[in-house]
Chains A and B, each alone.
Chain A
Amino acid sequence: ETGVTQTPRHLVMGMTNKKSLKCEQHLGHNAMYWYKQSAKKPLELMFVYSLEERVENNSVPSRFSPECPNSSHLFLHLHTLQPEDSALYLCASSQDRAVQETQYFGPGTRLLVL
């Protein structure tokens, strides 16, 4: 499934850097998601966008800043991160947010914060 792409695939950054993760979906979906997957933890939902509007923010620190310029693109802007933010960041999309909709995931960005 190559309907959801993410760049970069790997990222190493210092705590004072600013970087952005990009997600693009080619499925014509209206909802997009950011998840964080840390070692030995379940996937944590970070943000949800529906029709380009942020509809959910699960108490994510302000050093993570999402942006959804259109229904196909989703960004996660990173600044002043901490080493504990090192994780796999996964983007997903679904047709909409209805309970029956399947979320399709991208390959993720493996982030290491030094």
Chain B
Amino acid sequence: AQKVTQAQTEISVVEKEDVTLDCVYETRDTTYYLFWYKQPPSGELVFLIRRNSFDEQNEISGRYSWNFQKSTSSFNFTITASQVVDSAVYFCALSDAYGSGNTGKLIFGQGTTLQVKP
């Protein structure tokens, strides 16, 4: 069955610290996609990144970086030199088409609340 686990419910750091948000997934499909979304207090889910199961290269975008490891079924997200504006709930999500052709279904983790203190 498809499942996404974000074991860290809440993380609190002081500004400028680095922080890593963990994401572990389960799927029986060989083709799947992984996503990270940010949900600030305003409520909107903001898309951050999408990775496919065939591309294990790590990705960096400014202070954000993502580490995809198929061997451990993990897709972790690191924020370098965190800032107060990074405070939000972060969701990891999995889209696979197991048993449904090419139709995807997005499965979300429980989310990790990140608080960055000044």
- 1/0 per residue, CB under 8 A from A, across B19-56: the answer is 00000000000011101010000111111001010000
Say whether B105 faces chain A, with CB atoms less than 8 Å apart.
yes
Q: Are B102 and A105 in contact (CB under 8 A)?
A: no
Q: Report how far A59 CA is from B109 CA in the complex, Å.
A: 20
Beta-carbon nearest neighbor of B6 in chain A? A42
Check: A88 CB closer than 8 A to any chain B CB.
yes
At the interface, yes or no: B106 with Cβ under 8 Å from chain A? Answer: yes
Instruction: Report A-chain residues with C-beta under 8 Å of the C-beta of B110.
Output: 41-42
Kindly list chain B residues whose C-beta atoms are within 8 Å of the C-beta of A112.
Answer: none
Q: Count of A residues near B, CB < 8 Å?
A: 21
* Given contact pairs A43-B91, A100-B52, A110 touches B111 in the complex (Cβ within 8 A): no
Query: Given contacts A42-B108, A98-B103, are A110 and B31 in contact (CB under 8 A)?
Result: no
How many A-B pairs with Cβ below 8 Å? 55
How far in angstroms is the closest Cβ of chain B from A2?
Answer: 10
> Number of B residues contacting the other chain (C-beta, 8 Å)?
26
Residues of chain B at the chain A interface (Cβ within 8 Å): 31-33, 35, 37, 42-47, 50, 52, 91, 95-97, 102-106, 108-111
A residues near B (Cβ < 8 Å) are 1, 41-43, 45, 88, 90, 92, 97-108, 110
- Complex contact A105–B37 (CB within 8 A): yes
Residue of A nearest to B100 (CB): A99
A-B contact pairs, 14 of them (CB 8 A): A1-B47, A41-B110, A42-B109, A43-B108, A90-B43, A98-B104, A99-B31, A99-B95, A99-B103, A100-B52, A102-B47, A103-B106, A108-B43, A108-B44
Instruction: Assess the B106–A45 pair: CB atoms within 8 A.
Output: yes
